[in-house]
Amino acid sequence: MKRFINSKSDIVTEALDGFLATTPNAFLARLDAYPHTKVIVRTDWDKSRVTIISGGGSGHEPAHAGFVGQGMLTAAVCGEIFASPSVEAVLAAILAVTGDAGCLLIVKNYTGDRLNFGLAAERAKAMGYKVEMVIVADDVAIPGAHQPRGVAGTLFVHKIIGFLAEQGASLQQLAQAANELTRRIFSIGLSLDTCTVPGNQRQDYLAATEAELGLGIHGEPGVAKITFAAAASLMQTACNEIEKAIGDDHDHYALILNNLGSVPPIEMQVLAHSFLQTTLSEKVGLVIGPAHLMTSLDMNGFSISLLQLAPGDKEALFADVTVASWPGARELHGTASVSVVASPAEDRPGFEPSENKAIKATVLTVCNTLLAAAEDLNQLDALIGDGDTGTTFGNAARYIKDALEQLPYATDASLCFALSDLLARHMGGSSGALMAILFAAAGEAKEQAASWPSALMSGAQRMMFYGGAKQGDRTMLDALLPGLEALQAGSSLAEAAKAAREGADGTADMTRAKAGRAAYVPGASLNGVVDPGAEAIARAFAAAANNS
């Protein structure tokens, strides 16, 4: 699999240097025993306070280095990808930033991290340092597991304990608070695909119909393969597992919605919306995310972590930090969290329904034709664009059909204005705007008693003015203009449809588009492919002709 790396052996050190060079936090540095000791530290730390150190294998960015800063970690110890850092690296971090107040290590429950951080702690103690270690084991994927894994819930510990350290809490107080805090955190992950370790072969063990529940953050298999479903269903599945773990004793929680790596932002927002539809959301008072927090390289999945809130937790979670990777917290009150304000009043023209059976039948036929052609048009557009032409024209046809009985068919100008209004509101994309312009201008011409061919040609000319395209630019105009010119010359609808079809087919020989998304497509990709907008217009002409 292709990657933006220079070499597998240098990926972590180069990434950390890139991070340090670009982070807005100016008070960060790395220890000089690079690259064998990959430790990021605060340079503004007051050693009279307890040091907070965390870390582990890399590949979970922005964790762990991304959370070093005022209000969170004092230092982060980074291993190679998915590999625990060495004892020497952890010890170097402790010695670099720890004063008389001592050091608290926050470690996720993985054997390598426990052993290496633990041995470093013992060595530091032998040198006279005060060191305590807290182990985070928040994964609820396997009920009753003897060694639950530590996953994204660790961020709750970083934030709350980091806040308390800034306030001057003692090492004993912080260790006690951290251990108590870990018992109130519950997490689970769900993915559609595993991660890919740079330089390694991708393991595709999930079928297209499968998702994975309860996975770890190192690409290890989940507790169960489940049937792939809509986002709401998958989110509900994850929430069901959390609800089993938390029981019914409490109803005040904070949520971390974590992107495990490669879920697009729009899908993470869909997942946030899906969470708000669950009964679990009724127990959640604040949310962190959706955001990349504790990732697993490019894993196409998410995790949810819940913290049972105790006095003082909200203040700690809302406290400001100098950590750019921390997205902040927000109060959450179910669907009421979405603010709604009134839209400005728009003076839309009102239309009285009226009948002209011939025109109504033509409108219905054209709509049905475009709906039936949606998949063909999408496939055609996918060859040269973003594959949505059929959906765009289909949406327009669907909304016009829904309004079919309310349209003013007996008054040509009013019908044009009504169609323009529907297309402007519901069709979307540049095609929607262009078609709305066409019918608005046609309506104006109809008010001046223009014929249908002349009125529609006026609309096409307005389209060209606003859209900047002309015939020969490989757009819908290459079918629209020949059809309208034929009608203006007195030809029948059937002859106009033939002209539109010839115009559309002619776009397949145009290897350069001068407008629309196809303008950015190489000529070789355009050759032999009919412009999808022109194809839609040609089919609309044919439908109108067949109904005449």
Q: Is the sign of the CA dihedral 95, 98, 99, 104 positive or negative?
A: negative
Strands 253-259 and 210-213: unpaired
Task: Please tell me the distance from the alpha carbon of residue 131 to that of residue 120, in angstroms, as a whole number.
Answer: 10
| CA separation, residue 205 to residues 148, 192, 221 (Å) | 24, 11, 9
Is 252 designated active site?
no
Task: Please tell me the distance from the alpha carbon of residue 173 to that of residue 164, in angstroms, as a whole number.
Answer: 9
Indicate the SS3 state at residue 450: coil
Q: Could you tell me what percentage of the chain is helix, strand and coil, using 3-state DSSP and rounding each to the nearest 5?
A: 45, 15, 40
- Quick one: tokens of 346? 């728009």
Contact criterion met (CB below 8 Å) for 131 and 121: yes
Torsion of CA 26, 28, 33, 38, to 10 degrees: -130
Q: Shortest CA distance to 186 belongs to which of 270, 354, 308?
A: 308
Task: Please tell me the distance from the alpha carbon of residue 369 to that of residue 31, in angstroms, as a whole number.
Answer: 68
Q: Shortest CA distance to 540 belongs to which of 438, 470, 472?
A: 438
CA atoms within 13 A on the CB side of 320: 1
Catalytic residue among 60, 158, 218, 292: 218
What values do phi and psi take at 106, rounded to 5?
Answer: -110, 115
Task: Please tell me the distance from the alpha carbon of residue 283 to that of residue 255, in angstroms, as a whole number.
Answer: 10
Q: Is the sign of the CA dihedral 477, 482, 487, 489 positive or negative?
A: positive
Which residues lie closer than 8 Å to 528 by C-beta, 6 or more apart?
508
Contact criterion met (CB below 8 Å) for 94 and 131: yes
Indicate the SS3 state at residue 288: strand
**Total Cβ atoms within 10 A of residue 448:** 10
Contact criterion met (CB below 8 Å) for 166 and 70: yes
Task: Please tell me the distance from the alpha carbon of residue 507 to that of residue 27, in angstroms, as a whole number.
Answer: 59
Indicate the SS3 state at residue 117: helix
Indicate the SS3 state at residue 481: helix
Catalytic residues, by residue number, are 218
